């Protein structure tokens, strides 16, 4: 399965959204108005790219003739049991079974990226970002992070959720609450690992 570009992913999601909302796939024009293109050919070429990469089928001559190919991989990913991580014991990998509180069944199409686990929030350091204690942060494992991202970091064997800001060799892990102070990490000295990015949140009242 070839990887999609960000724009191609947008188009594929646009098709999914249309089917979910209306019951049928979009026209080229509808894709354009949804994504802000001004030429039908923009949609057309993206569709042909998705077809080439086997994400969709296009039936020639048919209006809305788009079929999303749900192959075995995506079907298996579609409904998924995702672990909920409570407190992480020192020295153990985040996803070690002793850290798994329980599992949540979710549709992997719910968030923009794949959810690898949910992290249960401790404390109120991210209050101003609308993140409260016991909220579940949907975490996508990745090593790609940019400044301002909501990051799950492991600093000296402790897992923390903060905003990520890097400048040269100095890493700032910034909270979203005036009562808390940033954690500064010297990337040359300290032991720090990016666990993943916070791509969503689930709260149970």
Partner DNA sequence: TAATATACTGTATAAATATATAGTATATTG
Partner DNA sequence: CAATATACTATATATTTATACAGTATATTA
Q: Which residues bind DNA (CB under 7 A)?
A: 5-8, 27-30, 32, 36-46, 49, 52, 58, 60-65
Q: Which of 121-154 are b and which e, b meaning 16 or more Cβ less than 10 Å from the residue's Cβ?
A: beeebbbebebeeebbbbbbbbeebeeebbbbbb
* Residue placing its CB nearer to DNA in the complex, 51 or 172: 51
| Segment interacting with a second copy, rule: CB under 8 A, options 36-44, 87-95, 99-107, 157-165 | 99-107
Distance of alpha carbon 18 from alpha carbon 137, whole angstroms? 27
Minimum separation from the CB atom of position 145 to DNA (A): 18
Distance of alpha carbon 6 from alpha carbon 173, whole angstroms? 27
Which two tokens mark 48?
């042909």
183-186 sheet: strands from edge to edge: 150-155, 158-167, 170-174, 183-186
- The reply to whether 202 sits near a second copy by the rule CB under 8 A is yes
* Residue placing its CB nearer to a second copy in the complex, 103 or 190: 103
Catalytic residues: 125, 162
| Segment interacting with a second copy, rule: CB under 8 A, options 39-47, 106-114, 151-159, 187-195 | 106-114
Residues whose CB is less than 8 angstroms from the CB of residue 183 and which lie 6 or more positions away in sequence, other chains included: 155, 160, 162, 172, 173
* Residue placing its CB nearer to DNA in the complex, 14 or 159: 14
By CB under 8 A, name the binding residues for a second copy: 17, 19-25, 27, 57, 59, 62-68, 79-81, 100-107, 109-112, 127, 130-132, 135, 150, 198-205
């Amino acid at each position: 399965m070839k990887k999609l570009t960000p724009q191609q992913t947008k188009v594929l999601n646009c098709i999914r959204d249309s089917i979910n909302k209306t019951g049928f796939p979009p026209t080229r024009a509808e894709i354009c108005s949804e994504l802000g293109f001004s030429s039908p050919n923009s949609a057309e070429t993206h569709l042909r790219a998705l077809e080439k990469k086997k994400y969709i089928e296009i039936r020639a001559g048919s209006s809305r003739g788009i079929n999303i190919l749900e192959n075995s991989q995506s079907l298996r990913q579609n409904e998924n049991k995702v672990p909920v991580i409570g407190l992480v014991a020192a020295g153990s990998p985040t996803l070690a079974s002793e850290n798994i509180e329980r599992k949540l069944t979710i549709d992997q199409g719910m968030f923009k990226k794949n959810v690898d686990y949910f992290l249960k929030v401790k404390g109120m350091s991210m209050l101003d970002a609308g993140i409260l204690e016991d909220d579940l942060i949907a975490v996508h494992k990745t090593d790609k992070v940019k400044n301002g991202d909501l990051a799950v970091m492991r600093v000296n064997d402790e897992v923390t959720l903060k905003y990520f800001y890097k400048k040269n060799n100095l890493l700032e892990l910034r909270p979203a609450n005036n009562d808390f102070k940033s954690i500064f990490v010297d990337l040359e000295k300290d032991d720090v690992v990016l666990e993943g990015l916070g791509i969503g949140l689930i709260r149970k009242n």
